């Protein structure tokens, strides 16, 4: 399937310059390159003084799994990126392994945010459900708004119980068209429609859900 081109208002995100220079020369597998790009994107979606992604988030990422085909390849690719020095692998205070960009700030600050170095931790893959069972609303959110975290997944699930599926779909599209890419903005649209009504739209009965957020 051919790509139709970038739409108006497409989002951009920063990539460290060495990725396009010496690291591009050194990275020797397509799997590692895809993993580096996707994980950098995931990290950029985070907020807070130190940004990182957990092992579970990486292994549950539908785009990355589809791009590489196997969970084992994702694991070996992220490990290769750590060995190459692109990411640092640390351990959160709750025991979960996490990954952050290998910056001076992150190396110095990791211990201040409940994270400590853990070079010996072995990755164990988590169960992952195939893309075909992923509800289209969740997929639409990922494609147009941002990374789907467990908290956002739960909030979308609650909205599905309250509003028609078409409302949620339209609210996501409207949010993206206004470049207001957050669940809070989408939720505000839904609340307004619920309060004021939507002429010509369906009756406001909750949509039926088949696979709540087990895929997260």
CA-CA-CA-CA torsion sign (206, 207, 212, 213): negative
Whole-angstrom Cα distance, residue 4 to residue 125? 34
Which range of 12-21, 46-55, 92-101, 145-154 scores highest in mean pLDDT? It is 12-21
φ, ψ for residue 91 (rounded to 5)? -125, 125
Residue 116: pLDDT over 80: no
* CATH number listed for the domain at residues 17-117: 1.10.10.10
Fold of 131-196: Arc Repressor Mutant, subunit A (1.10.10)
Burial of 144 from C-beta contacts in 10 A (0-12 / 13-18 / 19+)? middle
Whole-angstrom Cα distance, residue 216 to residue 152? 10
Which range of 13-22, 141-150, 193-202 scores highest in mean pLDDT? It is 13-22
* DSSP string of 125-141, one letter each residue: PPP---GGGS-HHHHHH
For residues 118-131, average pLDDT: 36
Ranges of H-type helices in the chain? 22-26, 30-44, 55-59, 62-68, 71-84, 104-109, 136-144, 150-162, 165-177, 183-196
CATH 1.10.10.10 domain span(s) along the chain: 17-117
pLDDT at 208 (0 to 100): 44
Beta bridge partners of 101: 87
pLDDT at 174 (0 to 100): 93
Non-local (6+) Cβ contacts of 136 within 8 A are 169
pLDDT at 112 (0 to 100): 55
Note the pLDDT tens digit of each residue in 150-199: 788 788 888 887 888 889 999 999 999 999 999 999 999 999 999 888 76
Average pLDDT over all residues of the chain:
77
Note the pLDDT tens digit of each residue in 21-53: 999 999 999 999 999 999 999 888 877 667 888
DSSP H or E run through 197: none
């Amino acid at each position: 399937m051919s790509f139709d081109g970038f739409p108006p208002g497409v989002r951009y995100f920063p990539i460290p310059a060495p990725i396009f220079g010496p690291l591009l020369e050194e990275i020797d597998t397509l799997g590692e390159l895809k993993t580096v790009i996707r994980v950098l994107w995931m990290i950029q979606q985070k907020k807070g003084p130190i940004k990182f992604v957990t092992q579970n988030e990486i292994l549950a990422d539908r785009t990355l799994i589809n791009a590489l085909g196997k969970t084992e390849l994702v694991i070996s690719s992220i490990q290769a990126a750590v060995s190459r020095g692109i990411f640092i692998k640390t351990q959160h205070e709750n025991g979960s392994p996490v990954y952050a960009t290998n910056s001076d700030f992150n190396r110095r600050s990791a211990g201040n945010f409940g994270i400590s170095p853990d070079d010996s931790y072995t990755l164990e893959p988590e169960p992952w459900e195939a893309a075909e069972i992923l509800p289209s609303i969740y997929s639409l959110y990922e494609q147009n708004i941002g990374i789907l975290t467990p908290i956002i997944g739960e909030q979308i699930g609650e909205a599905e119980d309250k509003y028609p599926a078409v409302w949620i779909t339209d609210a996501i599209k409207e949010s993206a068209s206004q470049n207001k890419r957050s669940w809070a903005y989408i939720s505000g649209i839904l609340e307004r429609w619920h309060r004021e009504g939507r002429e010509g739209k369906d009756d406001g009965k909750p949509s039926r859900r088949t696979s709540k957020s087990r895929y997260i």
